[in-house]
Amino acid sequence: MDCPERNVCGHGTYQCPDAGAKSEMSLIPVALLRDPNVKGRNKLVLYELFRHDCELRDR
């Protein structure tokens, strides 16, 4: 898959409400799909969100 891993700050996205906690989260690409809503070469990327301790983030 040609999609890079990404890092996000959990505070800015309201994923990490505790100001004292480590807020770094990783987005790992898991699927690359053709966009059914837009014609052409557009793609959708599905990511899983992992906490800084490599645990999968619950909803």
Quick: pLDDT tens for 6-47.
Answer: 887 766 666 666 655 677 788 899 999 999 999 899 999 999
Reported pTM: 0.64
* Between 58 and 5, residue with greater pLDDT: 5
DSSP codes, 20-57? TS--EEEEEEEEEEE-TTS-SS-EEEEEEEE-TTSPBP
In the predicted structure, residue 58 carries a pLDDT above the cut 80: no
In the predicted structure, residue 48 carries a pLDDT above the cut 70: yes
The residue ranges of every structural domain in the chain are 6-50
The C-alpha atoms of residue 45 and residue 28 are separated, in whole angstroms, by 10
| pLDDT value, residue 33 | 94
